[in-house]
Amino acid sequence: MISSFCLAAAAGILVLLGIEFNETGAQVLLTTVVVGLYSLAMLCCAAVFSRPERAVGFLGTAVALASLIWTVILIWSEGTWEWDPVQILLTGITLTVAFCFLSLLLALTTYRDAFIRAFLIAALVLISLATVLTVGQFWNSSWDNEGFLRFYGIVLILAVLTGVITPLASLLRRRTSAAPAARPEADPPSAASAIDPETAAALVAEAQRRGISVAQLVAPLLRAGNPREADDELD
């Protein structure tokens, strides 16, 4: 992916400098860009490889790879087709984008209580429905009417909305639930609670009289070595 984008960037710079490419050069440049984009899509699908939903990532990677092969064939093919190859191309692109969206959504939604699961299920259903409707338009022109387009637009808006809100809500809910659990660790018990109050007060008073801290006062007693040396340091 990195190599493809670097080569495409270099070719773009050469074009801006006035260097023209022939038909083969243009095909090579287009192939490089396509490989980079589909590699990015596979990287998005790989986000769930280590999660229980890894099947979505594997299927998305397979769809992206098949769509990549078909796109490269169309770039380099000069023959005629008995059927419209663009329909298959658009179908592959749509399915690839859908699987990328689903994989990223599942990977980012790490905290899942009942509220987040409801949003996640709604997002998955709406994204799947939007994908089916999009692919259906490529293969069935009779769907192209005003009522269908309005319904299709509503589904797309809701799919994007739930797809964006779900991971954000998951992040906020995780932080909210983790905050109370962290409070007891933030305030560890004081050292005075482990000894009786009179001894603690005496240690504090003696440390104040000597102008040192309580830790410095008791440090000689805790050192390993000759106890008589510790007593001499206290004196």
- Residue-wise pLDDT for 60-78, tens only, equals 999 999 999 999 988 888 7
pLDDT of residue 104: 92
Reported as a pLDDT band with limits 50, 70 and 90, residue 232 is: low
pLDDT of residue 206: 77
What pLDDT digit, counting tens, does each position of 127-168 carry?
999 999 999 888 877 666 778 889 999 999 999 999 999 999
Tokens representing 195 are 């000894």
* Residue scoring higher pLDDT (131 or 115): 131
Which residue has tokens 């409707």?
133
What pLDDT digit, counting tens, does each position of 179-203 carry?
554 454 445 555 445 677 777 778 7
pLDDT of residue 235: 52
CA gap 217, 206 in Å, rounded: 8
pLDDT of residue 182: 47
pLDDT of residue 97: 94
- Rounded average pLDDT over 101-116: 88
Mean pLDDT over the full length of the chain: 81
Task: Specify the pTM.
Answer: 0.66
133 touches 150 (CB < 8 A): no
